[in-house]
Amino acid sequence: MSKNRVQEIKQQIEDLKKRWPAHSVPAAMVEQLDSLEEELSKELQNAAASSGDMQAAEQTLHLRAIGYVENGFDEPATPEVIRSAESRLVIDASLAEGLQGFEAGQQIMVVFYFHRSQGYDLLQHPRGDPNRPRRGVFTLHSPRRPNFIGVTIVDLISLEGNVLRVRGLDAINGTPLLDLKLVQ
């Protein structure tokens, strides 16, 4: 593995993410991203294994989007505003069977990927307000996190095929969904 190849793959992944339409993530684009991320993962695992760094090899992850968010927010908004609006969770049709058991009125934990976030600071001002004292990133809902993963509990309004209508989500239009879990 060469450093150049790793950088090249990372650049291709970033370029692809920038091209994601705000309203949806086409299946062909998801497949291309999955392929690039898998190739990058293998390159990094091979490098870690050949250098004897098995801990780094074990920490390499590969995630696949199960769907995406649809709502009226193409840009970030305050949490109160975005959570008060209705959003649609559009799940890949091939995974729709996994939605069996969801019913209107239930609460769902939504795990998603902050696809437009870049970089992070371990200490941040809550909501970017410099008048508030800095706190540790793990105590905040900031999208600027080491792994760009968000989690929100939402109220399920309805389920129609592979689309869940929810309220309480704080993710913007086009956000890739990683997982759903029923809150018990």
Mean pLDDT score across all residues of the chain: 84
User: What is the rounded average pLDDT of the residues 45-73?
Assistant: 74
**Could you tell me which residues are beta bridge partners of residue 67?**
91, 177
**Could you tell me which residues are beta bridge partners of residue 147?**
none
Segment 105-123, tens digit of pLDDT: 999 999 999 888 888 888 9
Q: Where are the beta strands (DSSP E) in 92-145?
A: 107-113, 123-124, 135-136
Structure tokens at 29: 């684009």
Beta strands 135-136 and 176-182: pairing type? Answer: unpaired
CA dist., res. 142 & res. 155, Å (int): 21
Whether 82 shows a pLDDT value over 70: the answer reads: yes
3-state secondary structure (DSSP) of residue 81: helix
